[in-house]
Amino acid sequence: MTEAGAPIAEPGAGIGYQGPLRRLGTRLAAGRTVPILTVLAAIVVLWYAAAIGMNFATETAKLDRAAAPYTLADTIAATWGSERPILPAPHQIVVELYTSTVLVRPSSPRSLLFHAWVTLSSTLLGFVLGTLLGVALAIGILHSRTLDKSLMPWIITSQTIPILAIAPMIIVVLNAVGVQGLLPKAFISTYLSFFPVTVGMVKGLRSPDRMLIDLMHTYSASRSQTLVKLRWPASMPFLFTSMKVGVAAALVGAIVGELPTGAVAGLGARLLAGSYYGQTIQIWSALFAAAFMAGILVWLVGLAETASLKRMGAKR
C-alpha cells in the first residue's frame, strides 16, 4: 500500500520565533476569530452611534426641562445612560444581563436564568418531539407513495400558516381539554421544528446511491433492514443539518407560545412584560439571552454531529 509521505517538517520550521504566542497569533489569523471579532467591533460602534441618534430628542427634552446649562457631551452621555431609552447602549444591556443573571437567585422570577430555563425546557421538549415526529413522517413518506402524495402538501401548508395566529389557538384548545403548563408551549415548538426534520430526512433517506440499494436487493434485505443498515446511516448528515434549523425554530416556537397567553414566566413573558412597562433594556437583554441560547443549542447539535460522524469514519 502506498501512503503519501508526510512532510519532513512544517513549511517555515526553524525560522524565527516559534513560541506559543506566535502560534496563537497564526491560528487567530488563519481561523474565524479575527473576522468575527472585527464584525462585532463594527456592530458595537454603529450601535453606540445609533443610540445617540435614537435617544437624542428625548434626552435633549429632559435636559431642557432641568433648566440647567448642558453641553453636547452631556447629551451624548445621557443618551447612553437613560433608564428607558428607545435604543439602549450595548453596555446597558451587558449590565442588565449581568445583574439579572449573577446578582439574583436563579429561582427568583427576577432572574433571567429562571425565565431562560422555563423557555429552554419547553424548547427542548418540543424539539425532541418535533425531531421524532419529523423522522417518523419522513420514514412514512419514504415507504408509502400514498403518504408521499397526501401528506407532503399538507406539511408544507402547515408552515405557511403564521405561527402567531395559530399559537393562541393551540393553547386555547389544549387548555379546554385540560392540557396545561409545559406541553402546549412545547407543541408549538414541535409544530415549527418537525418541518425541517421531515424535509431533510426525506431527502436523506432517499440519498443512497442506486447501486447501494441494488446491493441490498441482491442480499434479499427486507425494507426495514435496508432502512436500518443503509438509509438511516446515509441520512445522518441530513438529520443533523435539519436538527440545527429545527432547534432554532423550536426556540422561536417556545417564545411565541409565551406571548399570547399572558404567561408569567419565560423569555417570551419577559419580552411582553418589558414592552408593557417600557423596559427596553429588559427587552433587549431577553432578546440577547434568547440569541445566546439559540447559539448554544445549535452549537451542541453541531458537537453531536461531529462526534457521530467521526464515529462513522468521516475523513478528519
Partner 1 sequence: MSVISAENLDLVFQTDDGPVQALSAIDLDIEKGEFVSLIGPSGCGKTTLLRVIADLETPTGGTITVNGMTPGEAREKRAYGYVFQASALFPWRTIAANIALPLEVMGIDRAERERRIEDNLALVDLSGFGNRFPWQLSGGMQQRASIARALAVQPDMLLMDEPFGALDEIVRDHLNEELLKLWAKTGKTVVFVTHSIPEAVFLSTRIVVMSPRPGRIHEIVNCDLGPDRPLDIRDTPEFLAIAHRVRDGLRAGHGYD
Does 1 participate in binding partner 1 (rule CB under 8 A)?
yes
Stretch in the footprint of partner 1 (CB under 8 A) among 23-31, 128-136, 229-237, 241-249: 229-237
CB neighbours of 53 closer than 8 A, spacing ≥ 6? none
Does 313 participate in binding partner 1 (rule CB under 8 A)?
yes
Does 312 participate in binding partner 1 (rule CB under 8 A)?
yes
76, 221, 273, 298: which one contacts partner 1 (CB under 8 A)? 221
CB neighbours of 175 closer than 8 A, spacing ≥ 6? 184
Report CA 269 to chain centroid distance, whole Å: 18
Of the candidates 192, 185, 291, 310, which has an alpha carbon nearest to the alpha carbon of residue 245? 192
Q: What's the min distance (Å) between Cβ of 198 and partner 1?
A: 23
Show contacts with partner 1 in window 152-211 (CB under 8 A). Answer: 209, 211
d(CA 15, CA 285): 49
Q: What's the min distance (Å) between Cβ of 171 and partner 1?
A: 42
Q: What's the min distance (Å) between Cβ of 312 and partner 1?
A: 4
Grid coordinates of 179: 392540557
Handedness of CA 103, 105, 107, 109 (dihedral sign): negative
31, 181, 233, 295: which one contacts partner 1 (CB under 8 A)? 233
Query: What does 79-110 look like in DSSP terms, one character per residue?
Result: HTT-SS-SS--HHHHHHHHHHHHTSS-TTSTT
20, 105, 153, 214: which one contacts partner 1 (CB under 8 A)? 214
Does 293 participate in binding partner 1 (rule CB under 8 A)?
no
Binding residues vs partner 1 (CB under 8 A): 1-2, 209, 211-212, 214-221, 225, 229-230, 233-234, 236, 312-315
